[in-house]
Amino acid sequence: MKNFRVQPCDRLQGTVRVPGDKSIGHRSLIFASLAEGRSHITGLSGGLDNLATAEAFGAMGVEIELGSNEAWVDGVGLRGLRLPERSIDCGNSGTTMRLLAGLLSAQRFGLRLSGDESLSRRPMGRVVTPLRARGAHIKGVSGAKEGEHYPPLSIAPLVEGESLIGLEYEMPIASAQVKSSLLLSGLYASGPTAIQEPVISRDHTERMMLALKVPLQTLGAMCVLDPAGWDGRWDPFSWAVPGDISSAAFLLAAVQLVPGSEILAQGVGVNPTRTGLLDLVRIMGARQGVIPKGDGAGDEPTADLEFTHQSIRGGQVGGELLVRMIDEVPALCALAAGCSERVEIHDAQELRVKESDRLSAMANVLSEFGIPCREKPDGLIIEGGRPLRAARVNSLGDHRVAMAATVLALRADDESVIEDVGCVDTSFPGFAEVLGSLGAQIEVEEAP
């Protein structure tokens, strides 16, 4: 097990590049694998989650050559995937499992999608139920909640004469993973796929489909994929994955916690469905610069982000704004410790079924660092403006909890220890080294 030993920090300053956006990386690998010809993807995160997706397609006959944060993918087309020799291990990646569940439900071969201990506790009914409604033969296993489906997921093949049918689905909760799973299954369906979300979730899949001329129409929180008359093909491509705004969020939090800090994060994705945290902290009084840098993979907007320390107020977040920053909530929790007023988080019950129960985990982390925090069923109430005391906390194997705790430790009154930080490589390989290049003192230790 790896731990971080973190010393208090006087100032953070410098220019960095964060790892590639793993959400965009997953989808780039999927669409490259289904293209007809060789695609080149640069800017991949190098993290374990994207590797799980690449290895899954490799097991199904797609030739993928991985380099340093890049991949050359020899796509096999929509109907070219082959039966793997064994079950597909999705590791810790819920995105890999949910997106593949949709794609593989349309194949003529059956298989099983498994994952690590953490992923095996995450509910999958939200994709299983609508996929079954369109004719997929998919099921999970029983678990903590009665009637829910948990990994591993078993998918039986569609037999000769069977195909997935059209689907009209009104999603009870906005979810880019569920939406993407249904759209991927819709590539093979005999009729249209119409999806309505309560509010729009991240739209990386839609942007890529439109860039590849897949017959998709979007209007706000609704999208319709109608394959009628489409030849089911797209050309290979060369895409650059932008930097991950979820990773950059921890740098923003660190800047707001450590007075005098200034950081420039280069080439970060600023898709409007992902910039909720930037919008929130601007309302709270933070100083930030956004310098547009053109488009990345699948017409994703990118920018250089300038973060400068500023005393900021508290505030409330929920609803549509919360959806646009759901992965950044742990970073917000760390940032909230430096606010002069209370921060209230609502409508975040989805965070209870991530790699950990992130609401409970962050409430515990904040309390250990001396920040009063009250947990609610759907959120947290955080009282900022208090001095932080040194703490020893465990990440619970959750990469975002580990990074949030590390950022909090930068402002503590003495050395802090963050336990079980190997999970950080899931999304931000080199996290400690990046902070070190900016002035932080973080020792990585191997613990028994």
What is the longest distance spanned by two Cα atoms in the chain? 68
| Count of other CB atoms within 10 angstroms of residue 1 | 12
- Catalytic positions are 327
CA dist 440 and 448 (Å) reads 25
